[in-house]
Structure 1
Amino acid sequence: MDDNESEAGSSKLTLADRKAKMDQLRKRLAASSRANRHSLVEESTKLKVTARDAARLERQRKLAETLREKADAEARGEDADRSKNWEYTIEENDAWEKKLARKKRRADFEFHNDAHAARRRYKKDLDLIKPDLVAYNQQKEIAMGLAPGTLSTFDAKSGPSSLQVAPSTLEQQLAAENLYRDANTLMYGDSKPSEDAIDRMVSKINKDIDKKGKFSRKRLNEDEGDITYINEANRVFNKKIARYYDKYTTEIRASFERGTAL
Protein backbone atom coordinates (compact mmCIF):
# COMPACT_ATOMS: atom_id res chain seq x y z
CA MET A 1 0.00 0.00 0.00
CA ASP A 2 2.76 2.42 0.93
CA ASP A 3 4.70 1.60 -2.25
CA ASN A 4 1.64 2.33 -4.39
CA GLU A 5 1.06 5.68 -2.67
CA SER A 6 4.70 6.67 -3.14
CA GLU A 7 4.54 5.78 -6.84
CA ALA A 8 1.30 7.76 -7.25
CA GLY A 9 2.85 10.74 -5.46
CA SER A 10 5.91 10.62 -7.66
CA SER A 11 3.72 10.45 -10.77
CA LYS A 12 1.66 13.45 -9.57
CA LEU A 13 4.84 15.47 -8.99
CA THR A 14 6.02 14.63 -12.45
CA LEU A 15 2.79 15.86 -13.99
CA ALA A 16 2.97 19.02 -11.89
CA ASP A 17 6.51 19.63 -13.04
CA ARG A 18 5.44 19.14 -16.63
CA LYS A 19 2.54 21.52 -16.18
CA ALA A 20 4.80 24.14 -14.60
CA LYS A 21 7.27 23.71 -17.45
CA MET A 22 4.46 24.08 -19.98
CA ASP A 23 3.19 27.23 -18.26
CA GLN A 24 6.69 28.66 -18.28
CA LEU A 25 7.09 27.94 -21.99
CA ARG A 26 3.72 29.51 -22.73
CA LYS A 27 4.70 32.64 -20.81
CA ARG A 28 7.96 32.87 -22.72
CA LEU A 29 6.08 32.41 -26.00
CA ALA A 30 3.60 35.14 -25.08
CA ALA A 31 6.41 37.50 -24.02
CA SER A 32 8.29 36.82 -27.25
CA SER A 33 5.13 37.45 -29.30
CA ARG A 34 4.51 40.75 -27.50
CA ALA A 35 8.13 41.82 -28.04
CA ASN A 36 7.98 40.94 -31.73
CA ARG A 37 4.71 42.79 -32.16
CA HIS A 38 6.08 45.83 -30.33
CA SER A 39 9.17 45.81 -32.54
CA LEU A 40 7.02 45.45 -35.66
CA VAL A 41 4.75 48.34 -34.66
CA GLU A 42 7.74 50.53 -33.82
CA GLU A 43 9.42 49.80 -37.16
CA SER A 44 6.17 50.45 -39.03
CA THR A 45 5.77 53.75 -37.20
CA LYS A 46 9.29 54.81 -38.15
CA LEU A 47 8.61 54.01 -41.79
CA LYS A 48 5.48 56.14 -41.73
CA VAL A 49 7.38 59.19 -40.49
CA THR A 50 8.11 61.08 -43.69
CA ALA A 51 10.18 64.18 -44.24
CA ARG A 52 7.08 66.34 -43.86
CA ASP A 53 6.26 64.74 -40.52
CA ALA A 54 9.84 65.21 -39.38
CA ALA A 55 9.66 68.90 -40.32
CA ARG A 56 6.35 69.24 -38.48
CA LEU A 57 7.83 67.63 -35.36
CA GLU A 58 10.83 69.94 -35.60
CA ARG A 59 8.54 72.98 -35.77
CA GLN A 60 6.61 71.73 -32.76
CA ARG A 61 9.85 71.20 -30.85
CA LYS A 62 11.04 74.72 -31.64
CA LEU A 63 7.66 76.13 -30.64
CA ALA A 64 7.82 74.25 -27.34
CA GLU A 65 11.32 75.60 -26.69
CA THR A 66 10.16 79.14 -27.49
CA LEU A 67 7.20 78.86 -25.13
CA ARG A 68 9.42 77.44 -22.40
CA GLU A 69 11.96 80.27 -22.79
CA LYS A 70 9.13 82.81 -22.72
CA ALA A 71 7.71 81.29 -19.54
CA ASP A 72 11.15 81.28 -17.90
CA ALA A 73 11.70 84.93 -18.85
CA GLU A 74 8.30 85.93 -17.45
CA ALA A 75 9.08 84.04 -14.25
CA ARG A 76 12.31 86.05 -13.90
CA GLY A 77 10.44 89.28 -14.66
CA GLU A 78 12.26 89.89 -17.96
CA ASP A 79 11.09 90.67 -21.48
CA ALA A 80 11.25 87.47 -23.56
CA ASP A 81 11.90 89.25 -26.87
CA ARG A 82 14.64 91.40 -25.36
CA SER A 83 16.31 88.36 -23.82
CA LYS A 84 16.15 86.55 -27.16
CA ASN A 85 17.68 89.48 -29.02
CA TRP A 86 20.77 89.36 -26.80
CA GLU A 87 21.74 86.13 -28.59
CA TYR A 88 22.23 87.90 -31.95
CA THR A 89 25.14 90.06 -33.02
CA ILE A 90 24.82 93.45 -34.71
CA GLU A 91 25.85 91.95 -38.05
CA GLU A 92 23.22 89.21 -37.79
CA ASN A 93 20.56 91.76 -36.85
CA ASP A 94 21.48 94.00 -39.81
CA ALA A 95 21.40 91.02 -42.17
CA TRP A 96 17.98 89.99 -40.85
CA GLU A 97 16.58 93.51 -41.28
CA LYS A 98 17.91 93.66 -44.84
CA LYS A 99 16.32 90.29 -45.57
CA LEU A 100 12.95 91.48 -44.25
CA ALA A 101 13.18 94.69 -46.27
CA ARG A 102 14.07 92.75 -49.43
CA LYS A 103 11.20 90.34 -48.81
CA LYS A 104 8.81 93.26 -48.37
CA ARG A 105 9.95 94.83 -51.63
CA ARG A 106 9.46 91.56 -53.48
CA ALA A 107 6.05 90.83 -51.96
CA ASP A 108 4.28 92.04 -55.11
CA PHE A 109 3.77 88.86 -57.14
CA GLU A 110 1.33 90.30 -59.66
CA PHE A 111 2.29 90.74 -63.29
CA HIS A 112 2.51 94.41 -64.28
CA ASN A 113 4.60 94.45 -67.44
CA ASP A 114 7.52 92.70 -69.08
CA ALA A 115 10.08 95.15 -67.69
CA HIS A 116 8.88 94.57 -64.13
CA ALA A 117 8.96 90.78 -64.58
CA ALA A 118 12.47 90.95 -66.10
CA ARG A 119 13.69 93.08 -63.20
CA ARG A 120 12.29 90.61 -60.65
CA ARG A 121 13.99 87.77 -62.49
CA TYR A 122 17.27 89.69 -62.59
CA LYS A 123 17.12 90.37 -58.85
CA LYS A 124 16.51 86.70 -58.10
CA ASP A 125 19.42 85.66 -60.29
CA LEU A 126 21.69 88.13 -58.50
CA ASP A 127 21.10 86.28 -55.24
CA LEU A 128 22.61 83.14 -56.79
CA ILE A 129 25.76 84.81 -58.11
CA LYS A 130 28.91 83.98 -56.16
CA PRO A 131 31.74 86.29 -57.28
CA ASP A 132 35.17 84.78 -57.82
CA LEU A 133 37.25 87.11 -55.66
CA VAL A 134 40.43 85.12 -56.20
CA ALA A 135 40.37 85.61 -59.97
CA TYR A 136 39.38 89.26 -59.52
CA ASN A 137 42.30 89.91 -57.17
CA GLN A 138 44.68 88.25 -59.62
CA GLN A 139 43.46 90.50 -62.46
CA LYS A 140 43.65 93.53 -60.20
CA GLU A 141 47.20 92.69 -59.15
CA ILE A 142 48.30 92.57 -62.78
CA ALA A 143 46.43 95.78 -63.62
CA MET A 144 47.90 97.67 -60.64
CA GLY A 145 51.38 96.27 -61.16
CA LEU A 146 51.47 94.44 -57.84
CA ALA A 147 53.36 91.29 -57.04
CA PRO A 148 51.34 88.05 -57.19
CA GLY A 149 49.53 87.32 -53.94
CA THR A 150 49.75 90.89 -52.67
CA LEU A 151 46.03 91.57 -52.44
CA SER A 152 45.25 88.18 -50.93
CA THR A 153 47.79 88.74 -48.13
CA PHE A 154 47.36 92.52 -47.83
CA ASP A 155 46.96 93.83 -44.29
CA ALA A 156 45.11 97.14 -44.05
CA LYS A 157 46.78 97.98 -40.72
CA SER A 158 50.27 97.85 -42.18
CA GLY A 159 49.46 100.62 -44.66
CA PRO A 160 50.32 101.01 -48.33
CA SER A 161 54.03 100.39 -47.74
CA SER A 162 53.39 96.64 -47.79
CA LEU A 163 52.27 96.76 -51.45
CA GLN A 164 55.09 95.65 -53.71
CA VAL A 165 54.74 97.45 -57.03
CA ALA A 166 56.10 95.63 -60.06
CA PRO A 167 57.48 97.50 -63.06
CA SER A 168 54.96 98.70 -65.65
CA THR A 169 54.70 96.42 -68.67
CA LEU A 170 52.52 95.99 -71.73
CA GLU A 171 50.77 93.11 -70.00
CA GLN A 172 49.90 95.43 -67.13
CA GLN A 173 48.43 98.02 -69.48
CA LEU A 174 46.33 95.42 -71.27
CA ALA A 175 45.16 94.01 -67.94
CA ALA A 176 44.18 97.49 -66.76
CA GLU A 177 42.19 98.13 -69.94
CA ASN A 178 40.57 94.72 -69.63
CA LEU A 179 39.64 95.20 -65.97
CA TYR A 180 38.43 98.80 -66.13
CA ARG A 181 36.40 98.84 -69.33
CA ASP A 182 34.10 101.70 -70.25
CA ALA A 183 32.01 102.87 -73.19
CA ASN A 184 35.12 103.83 -75.18
CA THR A 185 36.85 100.47 -74.81
CA LEU A 186 37.46 98.74 -78.13
CA MET A 187 38.16 95.34 -76.55
CA TYR A 188 35.23 92.95 -76.64
CA GLY A 189 34.52 89.27 -77.12
CA ASP A 190 37.84 88.17 -75.65
CA SER A 191 36.61 86.98 -72.25
CA LYS A 192 36.83 83.20 -71.91
CA PRO A 193 34.89 81.77 -68.96
CA SER A 194 36.29 78.95 -66.90
CA GLU A 195 34.94 75.42 -66.91
CA ASP A 196 33.43 75.92 -63.45
CA ALA A 197 31.59 79.03 -64.63
CA ILE A 198 30.22 77.14 -67.64
CA ASP A 199 29.07 74.29 -65.40
CA ARG A 200 27.31 76.74 -63.07
CA MET A 201 25.55 78.39 -66.00
CA VAL A 202 24.42 75.05 -67.45
CA SER A 203 23.14 73.84 -64.07
CA LYS A 204 21.26 77.13 -63.60
CA ILE A 205 19.62 76.81 -67.04
CA ASN A 206 18.65 73.19 -66.40
CA LYS A 207 17.22 74.15 -63.03
CA ASP A 208 15.13 76.93 -64.61
CA ILE A 209 13.86 74.58 -67.32
CA ASP A 210 12.90 71.95 -64.76
CA LYS A 211 11.17 74.55 -62.58
CA LYS A 212 9.28 75.96 -65.55
CA GLY A 213 8.16 72.47 -66.59
CA LYS A 214 6.72 71.77 -63.15
CA PHE A 215 5.03 75.15 -62.82
CA SER A 216 1.28 75.21 -63.36
CA ARG A 217 -0.52 78.52 -63.25
CA LYS A 218 -3.96 78.43 -61.69
CA ARG A 219 -6.48 79.67 -64.23
CA LEU A 220 -9.35 81.26 -62.37
CA ASN A 221 -11.45 82.13 -65.42
CA GLU A 222 -11.07 78.86 -67.25
CA ASP A 223 -14.30 77.50 -68.71
CA GLU A 224 -14.54 73.90 -67.54
CA GLY A 225 -18.11 73.20 -68.62
CA ASP A 226 -20.49 71.57 -66.16
CA ILE A 227 -19.62 71.64 -62.47
CA THR A 228 -19.21 67.99 -61.48
CA TYR A 229 -17.21 68.45 -58.28
CA ILE A 230 -17.74 69.65 -54.73
CA ASN A 231 -14.21 70.82 -53.91
CA GLU A 232 -10.74 71.13 -55.43
CA ALA A 233 -9.65 67.60 -54.50
CA ASN A 234 -12.81 66.16 -56.03
CA ARG A 235 -12.23 68.19 -59.21
CA VAL A 236 -8.73 66.75 -59.60
CA PHE A 237 -10.04 63.23 -58.95
CA ASN A 238 -12.82 63.61 -61.52
CA LYS A 239 -10.31 64.92 -64.04
CA LYS A 240 -8.10 61.86 -63.56
CA ILE A 241 -11.07 59.49 -63.86
CA ALA A 242 -12.28 61.25 -67.01
CA ARG A 243 -8.87 60.83 -68.58
CA TYR A 244 -9.26 57.04 -68.61
CA TYR A 245 -13.03 56.40 -68.69
CA ASP A 246 -14.52 59.21 -70.77
CA LYS A 247 -14.12 57.19 -73.95
CA TYR A 248 -16.45 54.55 -72.44
CA THR A 249 -18.96 56.77 -70.65
CA THR A 250 -19.41 59.66 -73.09
CA GLU A 251 -22.19 57.96 -75.05
CA ILE A 252 -23.94 56.77 -71.87
CA ARG A 253 -23.93 60.25 -70.34
CA ALA A 254 -25.18 61.76 -73.59
CA SER A 255 -28.04 59.23 -73.64
CA PHE A 256 -28.98 60.13 -70.08
CA GLU A 257 -29.00 63.82 -70.97
CA ARG A 258 -31.21 63.18 -74.01
CA GLY A 259 -33.46 60.88 -71.99
CA THR A 260 -32.99 57.99 -74.40
CA ALA A 261 -30.99 55.74 -72.11
CA LEU A 262 -32.25 52.16 -71.87
Structure 2
Amino acid sequence: MSTNNEVSMRSKHLEKLRELHLKVNEARKSNHLEVVEEDRRSKLPSNWETRQRRLQWEEEDEVFKIECAKKNIDPDRERALDVSADIADRLEARRRKKKNTDEGFSTYADASHRKYLKMTKQLKPDLAAYQKEKEKLGELAFPTADTIGLTDRKDPPEAVERLAKQIIEQGAKRPAYSRRRPFDADADIDYINERNKRYNELLERHYGKYTAEIKQNLERGTAI
Protein backbone atom coordinates (compact mmCIF):
# COMPACT_ATOMS: atom_id res chain seq x y z
CA MET A 1 0.00 0.00 0.00
CA SER A 2 2.78 2.41 0.91
CA THR A 3 4.59 1.46 -2.29
CA ASN A 4 1.60 2.48 -4.39
CA ASN A 5 1.41 5.81 -2.56
CA GLU A 6 5.09 6.44 -3.17
CA VAL A 7 4.67 5.67 -6.88
CA SER A 8 1.66 7.99 -7.08
CA MET A 9 3.49 10.82 -5.32
CA ARG A 10 6.52 10.30 -7.54
CA SER A 11 4.30 10.48 -10.64
CA LYS A 12 2.75 13.73 -9.43
CA HIS A 13 6.18 15.21 -8.76
CA LEU A 14 7.39 14.18 -12.20
CA GLU A 15 4.28 15.70 -13.78
CA LYS A 16 4.83 19.00 -11.97
CA LEU A 17 8.50 18.94 -12.93
CA ARG A 18 7.54 18.36 -16.56
CA GLU A 19 5.11 21.30 -16.42
CA LEU A 20 7.81 23.51 -14.94
CA HIS A 21 10.21 22.49 -17.72
CA LEU A 22 7.57 23.37 -20.32
CA LYS A 23 6.96 26.76 -18.73
CA VAL A 24 10.71 27.46 -18.56
CA ASN A 25 11.10 26.53 -22.22
CA GLU A 26 8.14 28.71 -23.21
CA ALA A 27 9.54 31.65 -21.24
CA ARG A 28 12.99 31.14 -22.78
CA LYS A 29 11.47 31.00 -26.26
CA SER A 30 9.36 34.11 -25.59
CA ASN A 31 12.38 36.01 -24.25
CA HIS A 32 14.40 34.99 -27.29
CA LEU A 33 11.68 36.23 -29.65
CA GLU A 34 11.49 39.54 -27.76
CA VAL A 35 15.26 39.96 -27.94
CA VAL A 36 15.23 39.25 -31.68
CA GLU A 37 12.36 41.71 -32.21
CA GLU A 38 14.08 44.37 -30.11
CA ASP A 39 17.28 43.89 -32.10
CA ARG A 40 15.32 44.18 -35.36
CA ARG A 41 13.66 47.41 -34.21
CA SER A 42 16.97 48.88 -33.07
CA LYS A 43 18.39 48.43 -36.59
CA LEU A 44 15.47 50.24 -38.22
CA PRO A 45 15.52 54.01 -38.92
CA SER A 46 14.43 56.21 -36.02
CA ASN A 47 11.27 57.32 -37.84
CA TRP A 48 10.35 53.86 -39.13
CA GLU A 49 7.12 53.50 -37.15
CA THR A 50 6.00 57.01 -38.11
CA ARG A 51 6.66 56.25 -41.77
CA GLN A 52 4.73 53.00 -41.55
CA ARG A 53 1.75 54.74 -39.96
CA ARG A 54 1.95 57.41 -42.66
CA LEU A 55 1.99 54.78 -45.43
CA GLN A 56 -0.95 52.98 -43.84
CA TRP A 57 -2.89 56.24 -43.59
CA GLU A 58 -2.14 57.07 -47.24
CA GLU A 59 -3.34 53.63 -48.35
CA GLU A 60 -6.55 53.96 -46.34
CA ASP A 61 -7.05 57.50 -47.63
CA GLU A 62 -6.60 56.33 -51.23
CA VAL A 63 -9.16 53.58 -50.73
CA PHE A 64 -11.53 56.10 -49.12
CA LYS A 65 -11.19 58.49 -52.09
CA ILE A 66 -11.84 55.67 -54.56
CA GLU A 67 -15.00 54.68 -52.68
CA CYS A 68 -16.17 58.32 -52.63
CA ALA A 69 -15.48 58.65 -56.36
CA LYS A 70 -17.62 55.58 -57.04
CA LYS A 71 -20.48 57.14 -55.05
CA ASN A 72 -19.86 60.59 -56.62
CA ILE A 73 -19.25 62.13 -53.16
CA ASP A 74 -16.80 64.84 -52.15
CA PRO A 75 -14.21 63.06 -49.92
CA ASP A 76 -13.46 66.17 -47.83
CA ARG A 77 -17.14 66.75 -47.15
CA GLU A 78 -17.67 63.07 -46.30
CA ARG A 79 -14.68 63.08 -43.96
CA ALA A 80 -15.94 66.24 -42.23
CA LEU A 81 -19.25 64.50 -41.47
CA ASP A 82 -17.39 61.88 -39.44
CA VAL A 83 -15.72 64.49 -37.22
CA SER A 84 -17.53 65.40 -34.01
CA ALA A 85 -18.38 69.03 -33.29
CA ASP A 86 -15.97 69.13 -30.34
CA ILE A 87 -13.03 67.88 -32.44
CA ALA A 88 -13.97 70.23 -35.29
CA ASP A 89 -13.93 73.20 -32.89
CA ARG A 90 -10.51 72.21 -31.56
CA LEU A 91 -9.12 71.79 -35.08
CA GLU A 92 -10.51 75.18 -36.12
CA ALA A 93 -9.06 76.83 -33.00
CA ARG A 94 -5.68 75.23 -33.71
CA ARG A 95 -5.84 76.42 -37.32
CA ARG A 96 -6.60 79.98 -36.24
CA LYS A 97 -3.85 79.90 -33.63
CA LYS A 98 -1.35 78.65 -36.20
CA LYS A 99 -2.48 81.31 -38.66
CA ASN A 100 -2.14 84.11 -36.10
CA THR A 101 1.13 82.92 -34.61
CA ASP A 102 3.46 85.83 -33.90
CA GLU A 103 6.92 84.72 -35.02
CA GLY A 104 8.55 87.71 -33.35
CA PHE A 105 10.73 90.37 -34.92
CA SER A 106 12.67 89.32 -38.01
CA THR A 107 13.06 92.45 -40.14
CA TYR A 108 11.48 95.89 -40.15
CA ALA A 109 9.85 95.06 -43.51
CA ASP A 110 8.19 91.93 -42.08
CA ALA A 111 7.06 93.82 -38.98
CA SER A 112 5.54 96.57 -41.13
CA HIS A 113 3.81 93.99 -43.33
CA ARG A 114 2.31 92.20 -40.31
CA LYS A 115 1.11 95.53 -38.93
CA TYR A 116 -0.45 96.38 -42.30
CA LEU A 117 -2.30 93.04 -42.42
CA LYS A 118 -3.54 93.50 -38.85
CA MET A 119 -4.79 97.03 -39.49
CA THR A 120 -6.44 95.98 -42.76
CA LYS A 121 -8.22 93.18 -40.94
CA GLN A 122 -9.45 95.62 -38.29
CA LEU A 123 -10.75 98.03 -40.95
CA LYS A 124 -12.88 95.21 -42.46
CA PRO A 125 -12.86 96.40 -46.10
CA ASP A 126 -15.76 95.45 -48.38
CA LEU A 127 -13.83 93.22 -50.77
CA ALA A 128 -16.93 92.28 -52.77
CA ALA A 129 -17.72 95.93 -53.52
CA TYR A 130 -14.06 96.58 -54.31
CA GLN A 131 -13.95 93.70 -56.78
CA LYS A 132 -17.17 94.88 -58.46
CA GLU A 133 -15.84 98.43 -58.79
CA LYS A 134 -12.53 97.19 -60.16
CA GLU A 135 -14.32 95.19 -62.87
CA LYS A 136 -16.44 98.23 -63.72
CA LEU A 137 -13.54 100.68 -64.03
CA GLY A 138 -11.12 98.32 -65.75
CA GLU A 139 -7.70 99.92 -66.22
CA LEU A 140 -8.93 103.15 -64.60
CA ALA A 141 -9.09 101.28 -61.28
CA PHE A 142 -5.31 101.76 -61.12
CA PRO A 143 -4.78 105.22 -62.64
CA THR A 144 -1.46 106.40 -63.97
CA ALA A 145 -0.12 109.94 -64.29
CA ASP A 146 -2.09 110.29 -67.54
CA THR A 147 -5.40 108.85 -66.34
CA ILE A 148 -5.62 110.07 -62.76
CA GLY A 149 -8.68 112.23 -62.15
CA LEU A 150 -10.70 110.78 -65.04
CA THR A 151 -13.05 109.01 -62.67
CA ASP A 152 -15.33 110.68 -60.17
CA ARG A 153 -15.34 107.84 -57.65
CA LYS A 154 -15.50 108.71 -53.97
CA ASP A 155 -14.94 106.58 -50.92
CA PRO A 156 -18.06 105.87 -48.84
CA PRO A 157 -18.32 108.21 -45.82
CA GLU A 158 -18.54 105.26 -43.41
CA ALA A 159 -15.27 103.85 -44.80
CA VAL A 160 -13.56 107.23 -44.35
CA GLU A 161 -14.93 107.40 -40.81
CA ARG A 162 -13.56 103.93 -40.01
CA LEU A 163 -10.12 104.87 -41.32
CA ALA A 164 -10.06 108.15 -39.37
CA LYS A 165 -11.11 106.36 -36.19
CA GLN A 166 -8.40 103.72 -36.72
CA ILE A 167 -5.71 106.39 -37.18
CA ILE A 168 -6.80 108.20 -34.01
CA GLU A 169 -6.72 104.94 -32.02
CA GLN A 170 -3.25 104.09 -33.33
CA GLY A 171 -2.01 107.54 -32.36
CA ALA A 172 -3.39 107.11 -28.83
CA LYS A 173 -1.70 103.72 -28.46
CA ARG A 174 1.69 104.77 -29.83
CA PRO A 175 3.06 106.31 -26.58
CA ALA A 176 2.32 103.09 -24.73
CA TYR A 177 4.36 101.09 -27.28
CA SER A 178 7.42 103.32 -27.01
CA ARG A 179 10.30 101.70 -25.12
CA ARG A 180 12.17 104.99 -24.69
CA ARG A 181 12.22 106.00 -21.03
CA PRO A 182 11.24 109.57 -20.16
CA PHE A 183 14.07 111.92 -19.26
CA ASP A 184 14.63 112.35 -15.52
CA ALA A 185 16.03 115.82 -14.79
CA ASP A 186 16.95 114.85 -11.19
CA ALA A 187 18.96 111.76 -12.15
CA ASP A 188 22.75 111.76 -11.84
CA ILE A 189 24.58 112.49 -15.09
CA ASP A 190 27.38 109.92 -15.33
CA TYR A 191 27.61 109.62 -19.11
CA ILE A 192 28.90 111.70 -22.01
CA ASN A 193 26.54 110.47 -24.74
CA GLU A 194 23.69 108.04 -25.33
CA ARG A 195 26.00 105.13 -26.14
CA ASN A 196 28.02 105.68 -22.98
CA LYS A 197 24.76 105.91 -21.00
CA ARG A 198 23.63 102.47 -22.22
CA TYR A 199 27.07 101.04 -21.44
CA ASN A 200 26.97 102.43 -17.89
CA GLU A 201 23.48 101.00 -17.38
CA LEU A 202 24.73 97.59 -18.54
CA LEU A 203 27.61 97.72 -16.07
CA GLU A 204 25.24 98.78 -13.29
CA ARG A 205 22.93 95.83 -13.93
CA HIS A 206 25.75 93.30 -13.73
CA TYR A 207 28.16 94.81 -11.21
CA GLY A 208 26.13 97.43 -9.33
CA LYS A 209 25.67 95.29 -6.23
CA TYR A 210 29.45 94.78 -5.98
CA THR A 211 30.42 98.44 -6.46
CA ALA A 212 27.68 100.07 -4.34
CA GLU A 213 29.89 100.28 -1.23
CA ILE A 214 32.84 101.68 -3.20
CA LYS A 215 30.61 104.40 -4.67
CA GLN A 216 29.28 105.32 -1.23
CA ASN A 217 32.81 105.59 0.19
CA LEU A 218 33.88 107.79 -2.73
CA GLU A 219 30.86 110.06 -2.24
CA ARG A 220 31.55 110.37 1.52
CA GLY A 221 35.27 110.81 0.96
CA THR A 222 36.12 107.84 3.18
CA ALA A 223 37.58 105.64 0.45
CA ILE A 224 41.11 104.37 1.05
What's the TM-score once normalised by structure 1's chain length?
0.32
More contact order relative to length (CA 8 Å, sep ≥ 6): 1
